[in-house]
Amino acid sequence: FQMSSKEKSSKSKSSSSSKAKTSSKDKTSSKDKESSKHKSSSKDKSSSSKTEKPEDAKAKSSSKHSKSEKSEKVEKPEVVVKTVDSEETLKRVKEQEEEIKRLKALVTALEKASPKVEKEEEDNSTEITFLPKKGQNVRINGEWAGVSAGGSMNHLTWRYNPQIFLWPSRSATVNITLSQPEGGTPTGIGFYVFEASYPTARRLLVDNDQMVAKSSFSKATKVEGSWLIKKSRNPYIIVPCTLDPENEMPFSVTISADAAITAQLISKEQEWPQPTILGDWSGDSAGGCENEDTVVNNPQYLLKVPNQTQLSILLLQTKFEDFDNIGFYLISTEPGRKQKISEVDIFQDDDKVVVRPEFKDPNQAFSELNLKPGSYVLVPATFDAGQEAPFNIMIMSESEMPPVSELADAAVLSISGDWEGETAGGCLNDPLRWRGNVQYSLTVEKDCELTLKLKQTSSVGSELNSIGFYVFKGGKRVIKPKKDVVFKKSKFGKMKDVSSKIKFKGSSEPYIIVPCTFDADKEGSYSFSVLSDDTSFVEYVTLDYLSEEQDLIHHNAKASWSGNTAGGCLDYSTWRQNPQFLLDIQQTTSVTMFLSLEEEDESLAPGFYVVKAPTNMNLSVNIKKEDILVKAPFSKGAREISKTFEFGPGRYNIIPCNYTPGASSKFELNLYSHVPGSAALSHIPAGIISIEGEWTPETAGGCINDMASWLKNPHLSLAVKQHTEVAVILVQNPAEEIPENLDELLEIGMYITNSDGDGNPKTNEESDLIAKAPFSPDKDVVIVGSLPACHWPYCITPTTFKAGVTGKFAITIIMDQENLEFIEFSKDPININPAEVVGAGEDPMLREIRRRFKPIASQTVELVKLTEKEEGNIPEFMTYVSRTLLQTIVQYQASIVAWADDVEPQWWLDGYDEEEVVEEVEEEAAVGGGPPPPPMGGPPPPPPPPPKLPPINFSKPPRLSMIDTTSQSAMTEDMIKELDEKPKTKLFIDDLLIAVKGGLANLRKVTPAPPKPVVEDPTVCGFFNMEILNSRRAAIEGLHDKDDSDDWSDDEWSD
């Protein structure tokens, strides 16, 4: 008779007890047919589990493991076999035998001293009763029939065998004899003995680890064994069984002891409720353990426990012997759950997981526990996903429980996306990058509780990204997240998915969802899901991309401060050299502007200004304090600053700058407007030319009041080869900051005049003065205006108001960058090549047409190139209209050149025959359909002739009926014929392209340079009206004191 490690004792080989001999005989019986697996179950708890298969030695973690790292996964436990020290065991057995001898001697002495007691009659009844029986010799009758013929522990059905509960009144030696009927076909019989965990009488879902002893199995009529037991508050359980299941027969168990005992066959009334669940792992529902994100796909069952109770759960898989290890989770949940748990992280939450599987057996998993009232989700699982098999679950409870129900798959709304490039913006630790994340709209029309789940479906690299999400209120794209608009925030972690259960208030205003990685630039794909226990929640909850009304229109432009473009704020004259942006507003809209540095720099203090753009050029170069519409405060060490402003229709300049000049940094400007199509943002590339100089005692000639002295000032040559809008800035002492004492500033001014061709100013006529900057004691003075193209350079003369005042200066000319190629600025005389001059002396309207036509012509060339690509699948009508457009551009170009030459273009002249037109007029007059007869003096000149049609038909192709299925093309036969003929010679398209390209250069019409200007006496200035000067002198001398009508106004004096 084998004893468990729990008892820590065995019978001595030298024992003379007949019971021990019988047990030894049964133990060595050759008729014991139990398998090695069966034998191993009698050992210590740790040795009863199966040895792990080599292929199962992959990382299978213990109770706290992370499914994101293989090194932390659940591991199948290894079997540790414990051995008992033989000397210690023999010593304990001898002590027990000595105790038995002492007790027997005590009993003998008591028997001699007390009256004789009649021997208890042997119970030979065959009646099956479920009442408790007491005494020192108890017989329990039973039957193996149907389900209760469960067989030995070689079979999972062994638990269905009848069970007998045994309570000893004190520690005693117990002899158990199991008998089968004589005369029948003998079958192997035996029994197991378990120690119960609880005192209540009921059928136990006993686990192998609870076994304390077992008999051998034999086909003999009787199988018996002796056992020394201790008194216990919990009963012992005897499970008689046949070796194989389905062997039906009656049996009897005789229990004799040297002390009073109580034994009872458990009836159905005494059994706990035992619902059995039949299920299977198949397809998606074979989800595996928590190491897999598919663990939520396993079958799930809801257990409702109304009162605190003892509960036993047994999971069985009987179809396959060689199968993946199995187990189950028991998870605390909220009352009323109807759908499966969908959050993987719940399976890793120790506060919610009541039972975590050990995955140590492929056929069974068992747990016995004391549960508090509440709701629980039971999730049976295999260790690996994809292992398919049917299973049974037996649940036994001490008290009545509501029926167990299977949970349905969660109702779900889902949307997919990618973190890529700018959309991999990271979390709010970097607000600049965070705004690039994709945002979604979640509309919840009534109060409800939803589960939001973010799952990363792929990641760039070998590791999972740390992910999470934000929920905002407000209903529109979030660009400036504040605490009052943050509704909820999930945790971030390197997990396959993260989820959060949130209670929402019903509202017509959507919530904004922003899924993101923790760090920026972590790319990958994801899915975002909304789940609910209410399967009808899709009727009042929607998840979608932001609508046009919710989204904001994003405008982005990038630039940098470096070198001379790091101009500083308005306190410095170099501010004009900062990069500028043109904001074109078509209709009133609110715009939020962000200035963001590429990298954080504690030494920088970024800010920006917004002003109305000038009408005569794109760049702002002359700003007064009252002109500033928006000023973003300069903040030292800030990486980003922002302002929101409501703009009306118009053109605006945005001027980002650092507070001090000379600081280098890359930056970007991000604008968000509310009205689609209401705003456009563009960077204005500026062309900047600068020359530094000095007023020395020899060159400080002062203002033009003293003409002879004025001519001593420095004179700089400016060549303008195409009409250009410019800003000319004169700065005194450019290397110095504005002094605190403004009285230290010089009074400076500047003239722009025609030149004599040799680098000197021409001042003989009033028209020679092109522009003048009034004298002012400021750091800088500015002239902004248009300079027409000219064959002779202009002359710029910077001066101080008083002669002899020395100092340094710099002159900077700023223009649109596209005009920089037409400007030349030098201290030396400049000779202009007439071939480089465009539109000198031409009509202003022609000049404007020419300016606007150039980009159109260039874009048309690129467009036609695109439609002429052979690999492109371009429809015929697109080829037709593209070539037609190109020919129109050629004609328009020729027309501009002809207009400049004051002639008619050749295509116009070739478009009609004058004689044919006259004949047509005469024919109309002959039939009476013409105009009335001409007046006396001869007929009027004929009306302007219509242009001749170009080689390709300009007429609009006829529109086909929508139901006309017989026509294959909307092109006429003539048009198709033209297309067939023209492309045969590749020169057709090439010639046109070359013509347009060449025409762009031809637009710079070469006109002969005028003769060199004739300069009269240079000391005679023609800028002033001598009559006005004489009148002023007379007024000053008092010659007209009596004539009050000749008082001089301030305007006249300033002139």
pLDDT tens per residue across span 707-740: 889 999 999 999 998 888 888 999 988 877 777 7
What pLDDT score was predicted for residue 14?
Answer: 34
Q: What mean pLDDT comes out for the span 17-46?
A: 36
What pLDDT score was predicted for residue 22?
Answer: 35
Q: What mean pLDDT comes out for the span 164-192?
A: 90
Alpha-carbon span 143 to 126, nearest angstrom: 11
Question: How many Cβ atoms sit within 10 Å of the Cβ of residue 379?
Answer: 25
Q: Which one is predicted more confidently, 949 or 84?
A: 84
> Percentage of the chain with pLDDT > 90?
30
Decide if pLDDT at 868 tops 80: no
pLDDT-derived band at 71 (thresholds 50, 70, 90) equals: very low
Q: Which one is predicted more confidently, 893 or 648?
A: 648
Decide if pLDDT at 970 tops 70: no
What pLDDT score was predicted for residue 809?
Answer: 94
What pLDDT score was predicted for residue 48?
Answer: 33
Decide if pLDDT at 78 tops 60: no
Decide if pLDDT at 37 tops 60: no
Alpha-carbon span 493 to 497, nearest angstrom: 9
Decide if pLDDT at 132 tops 60: yes
Q: b/e for 274-305, b at 16 or more Cβ within 10 A?
A: eeebebbbeeebbbbbbbbbbbbbbbbbbbbb
For residue 74, give the DSSP letter. B
Decide if pLDDT at 816 tops 60: yes
pLDDT tens per residue across span 456-512: 888 777 788 999 999 999 888 998 888 778 899 999 998 888 888 899 999 989 999
Across-strand partners of 515? 469
Of 548, 480, 818, the residue nearest 682 (C-alpha): 818
What pLDDT score was predicted for residue 693?
Answer: 94
What pLDDT score was predicted for residue 399?
Answer: 78
Of 729, 731, 748, the residue nearest 621 (C-alpha): 729
pLDDT tens per residue across span 259-294: 999 999 988 776 766 667 888 999 889 999 998 888
pLDDT-derived band at 612 (thresholds 50, 70, 90) equals: very high
Decide if pLDDT at 333 tops 70: yes
SS in 3 state form for 302-332?
Answer: EEEECCCEEEEEEEECCCCCCCCCEEEEEEE
Is 41 within 8 Å of 211 (Cβ atoms)?
yes
Alpha-carbon 893 to chain mean position = 50
Q: Which one is predicted more confidently, 399 or 609?
A: 609
Q: How does the average pLDDT of the chain come out, rounded?
A: 77
Alpha-carbon 237 to chain mean position = 60
Alpha-carbon span 275 to 403, nearest angstrom: 8
Lowest mean pLDDT among 103-107, 519-523, 793-797, 892-896: 103-107
Decide if pLDDT at 581 tops 90: yes
What pLDDT score was predicted for residue 645?
Answer: 92
pLDDT-derived band at 827 (thresholds 50, 70, 90) equals: very high
pTM: 0.49
